[in-house]
Amino acid sequence: MLRPRPGELLEGTVIFKGKNKLLLDLHGVTTAIISGRELRDSFNTFRDLQIGSGVIALVLEEENDEGLVVMSLRKASQQKAWDHFHDLIGSGKTMPFTAQEANKGGLLANIDGIRTFLPVSQLAPAHYPRVSNADTSEILSRLQKLVGHTFSVKIITMDEDAGKIVVSEREAMAEERSKTLESLKMGDVRDGIVSGIAKFGLFVTFEGLEGLVHISEIAWGHVKNPAEHAEAGDRVTVKVIGIDGDKLSLSMKQLANDPWEEVAERYPVGKKVTGSVVRFADYGAFIRLEKDINGLIHLSELAHHHINDPAEVLTIGQRIDAQVINIDVDERRIGLSLKALLPIDKETLERIRREREEEEKRKEEKDASSSAKATEDKKEESAWVASKTGKKYYPKNSATAKKIKEENRVYFANAEEAEKAGYSA
């Protein structure tokens, strides 16, 4: 005789299907009821059942007040899920995970009452919410955008007693990453997706891997902000320029023509050019001549008079004419001059002459001061004195030495130095 026991899985035949109730015949011996939330499982079993359909359910109660066995499709499905999870762990296979909600720690889903958690740290690079300063509100905002997305994951921990499992997208992609790394070589070109933007560069994912395009490898010209060159989700083509374990260095600019290859021909010394002022430095102003090509006007080349700050004569965005005065292709530098194109009137010439004379005077005074100091230092350090017109040298503090006039004195640090100069004791 059939005697249903709680927790047991039994097969029955549908004899009634209502909006929120099922009645099952259990081998002609007794009748079971399934109702309410116990009808709902992740496989949508209730939706597909018809009168006469066979179905497996789990016994909750041997008998209710109406004499019916109480059963559950939800619990049966949950048991099937646990069995399925055990099989997945044993085989190392992946499973689909559709995010139903998000919190600051990761993504969650409920599979037949089994709490399933995908931590942020276990997301693949393409989905990892890379934000500056670990801003938790921004991380949550990024994760919420992934709700409804289906991931391929592997189970990494399982707790039946607590009714929860933890899954990993990174582990699911580990084999793909390993295979890609094995075949990857320096110089390889790959199409990828921008997965993150930082002050120091762009993160790009491809074939389960993630690499960094450093700010210096984004473009040939000066890159101030990587965010000006790409957005998260953009498709880009990159070249592999460094492999260190699973850390990849990538380049975008090396796939573009170097604009400096022909720059010497386009900007010969003496040529008049036009450009826009793009930024200031302590030592001058940078002028954009064309995309990725900037020239520098040094402070000394901004005007015929002395300039302390380029902002005294220029403004950001201003269009100006300048003259090429030097070029160094290897160092990627173009020297420009603004004053070379400025006329010099009599007043300016007079001012330049005065400034030069003042500069020369200051230099002469500085040299004289240095020479006098050197002489005084030599006096202090010397032990012997001779007369410029004499042939002998004497101790500096001797009576004979003191008779020699200051303008005729020659000082020596030691006797050997005096004798080398032709004097004798």
Whether 223 is covered by a domain: the verdict is: yes
Tell me the mean pLDDT in the region 203-222: 89
The pLDDT tens digits for 281-331 are 999 999 999 887 899 999 999 988 888 999 999 999 999 999 999 998 878
Q: Domain tally for the chain?
A: 5
pLDDT tens digits along 227-248: 889 988 899 999 999 998 878 9
Q: Where does residue 109 fall: left (phi above 0), alpha (psi -120 to 50 degrees), or beta otherwise?
A: beta
Q: Phi first, then psi: give them for residue 26, nearest 5 degrees.
A: -100, 85
State whether 155 and 205 are in the same domain: no
Residue given tokens 């957005």 in the structure block = 231
Is the residue at 355 inside a domain? Answer: no
- Check: pTM over 0.75? Answer yes or no: no
From 130, 145, 172, give the residue that closes a domain.
Answer: 172
In this structure, are 286 and 228 located in the same domain?
A: no
pLDDT tens digits along 75-91: 888 888 888 899 989 89
412/278: higher pLDDT: 278
Domain end residue (candidates: 235, 255, 275): 255
- Pairing relationship of beta strands 101-103 and 54-61 according to DSSP bridges: unpaired
Are 245 and 274 found together in one domain? no
Range(s) of the domain holding residue 61: 9-79
Model pLDDT, residue 381:
66
pLDDT at 371 over 80: no
Strand order in the sheet with 409-412: 393-395, 384-387, 409-412
Answer yes or no: is pLDDT of 338 > 60.
yes
User: Do 303 and 229 lie in a common domain?
Assistant: no
When pLDDT is averaged across residues 206-220 and rounded to a whole number, the result is: 90
Q: Does 152 lie in the same domain as 183?
A: no
Q: What percent of the chain has pLDDT over 70?
A: 95
Tokens of 334: 């173009």
pLDDT for residue 384:
83
Do 165 and 194 belong together in one domain?
A: no
Residue 1 has pLDDT above 60, yes or no: no
Our CA dihedral for 146, 163, 43, 176, rounded to 10 degrees, sits at: 50
The pLDDT assigned to 370 comes to: 65
Mean pLDDT calculated for residue range 82-102: 90
When pLDDT is averaged across residues 173-177 and rounded to a whole number, the result is 81
pLDDT greater at residue 177 or residue 35: 35
Q: Is the pLDDT of residue 125 over 70?
A: yes
AA letter at 210: E
- The domain boundary residue, chosen from 79, 102, 134: 79
User: Can you give the CATH number for the domain in which 336 is found?
Assistant: 2.40.50.140
Please indicate, yes or no, if residue 371 is contained in any of the structural domains.
no
For residue 350, tell me if it sits in a domain.
no
In a domain, 235, yes or no: yes
